[in-house]
Copies of this chain bind each other. A is one copy, B any other.
Amino acid sequence: MNPEHLQTLWEEVRDVSLGSNSAIDRLHTPPTPLHFLRHYLSQNKPFILSSTATTTATTSLWSSTPYLLHTLSASTVSLHLTPTGRADSLTPHPTLPTSLCFASPHVTRLPFSEAIDLITTTQTNDTFVAYAQQQNDCFRGEYSPLSGDIDEDVPWATEAIGGPPEAVNLWIGNHLSETSFHKDHYENLYAVVTGEKHFLLLPPTDVHRMYVRDYPAAHYNYSKETGEFKLEIENPPRNVPWCSVNPYPLPENKEEEMSKFPLYFNGPKPFEVTVKAGEILYLPSMWFHYVRQTPDSRGLTIAVNYWYDMQFDIKYAYFNFLQSLPPPQHQTSHDFLTNGNASDGDEKHKKESVLTRP
């Protein structure tokens, strides 16, 4: 696998369709279904829609914790607990300390009032991070008392795609929750209601830059008594293919991470977008995304996302073909991205200095 071919692909999809400045299109009025289909869905291209009437009204309502407590007073919800806020992410293997595993959160169900307490108290407590979420259509299930507050679908998306969302999920977290790079087999309309979400996005063409590898599945087990987490490898064992790249490594690990994942750190920058309260992100199917969040004044970020079925078409076949190609050899890709493009001028020196600095 010649890394020059991959590099050309990453650049071409930006040249012809996505743009090269790491920003995505911003629309100020909802697109028509035809416009959405023609310019975004069909092209597998993201955009952000500035605050719309509907979600702005919801923001006022859901910014009131008393309102939420009252409306959900009889509701039991799913809460995900992790020691650090990183659920569904790579973490040191519990028994093989030099290797990593894929850790799922401890999931518990409890009254909404207790859940919101735990999410909020995370701020002053370093035992765990709580995140109310469940990607099983939870908004229309656990949170159904809120269903009158926000559109049950995104009308222009429903009309373009030809059917209602397959799942609608609610997310209530705090500043510590983050979601590691991954992709979904859904068209995703992501509406932030309070606080902000910060996305890093990479198109499916960039799959080799994610270093998707198999990791043993593990899950956290939290003990109320000891207040401690135990990370346990699943039995029977199974592997989960997951993106290896952490886009924000700790300063002390940065150099090592950059040399382990040169295609990510030295290739084109990911697209960056902050979705604010009242805004909606169209996150196309098969796009890799990493998410952090900034809370509102209460310390909460609340979002609703609508998952619509994706079309399995020629784009999907191309993606699977691309992914099936062996990655470039490490040394080769490193050489290529740092030295291979002699016409690259300053950019080349920037890249070299990143990798050769002391």
What is the interface of chain A, defined by CB distance below 8 A to chain B? Answer: 5-6, 8-9, 12-13, 16-17, 33-34, 37-38, 41-45, 159-162, 203-205, 311-322, 324-325
Contacts and interface: CB of A to CB of B under 8 A. Distances in A.
Given A38-B162, A45-B314, A314-B315, 16 more contacts: A8-B320, A9-B317, A12-B321, A13-B317, A16-B316, A34-B162, A37-B37, A41-B42, A43-B313, A43-B314, A45-B313, A203-B314, A205-B317, A205-B321, A318-B318, A318-B319
Contacts of A160: 34, 37-38
B320 A12 contact: yes
Nearest to A5: B324
A232 to B, nearest CB: 37
B317 A17 contact: yes
B318 A16 contact: no
13 contacts: A6-B321, A8-B320, A8-B321, A9-B321, A13-B317, A16-B312, A34-B37, A37-B37, A38-B162, A43-B313, A315-B315, A318-B319, A318-B322
Count of this chain's copies in the oligomeric assembly: 2
Given A34-B33, A322-B321, A313 B5 contact: no
Nearest to A318: B318
Contacts of A6: 321
Contacts of A325: 5
Contacts of A313: 16-17, 42-45
Given A5-B321, A34-B34, A321-B12, A314 B161 contact: no
A318 B159 contact: no
Contacts of A34: 33-34, 37, 159-160, 162
Nearest to A32: B34
A325 to B, nearest CB: 6
Nearest to A159: B34
A131 to B, nearest CB: 32
Contacts of A322: 318, 321
A181 B197 CA distance: 50
A12 B315 contact: no
Q: Find the residue from A13, A159, A312, A318 having the highest chain B CB count within 10 A.
A: A318
A42 B162 CA distance: 13
Contacts of A8: 320-321, 324
Contacts of A317: 9, 12-13, 16-17, 205
A62 B41 CA distance: 40
A13 B203 contact: no
A37 B33 CA distance: 10
Contacts of A316: 12, 16-17
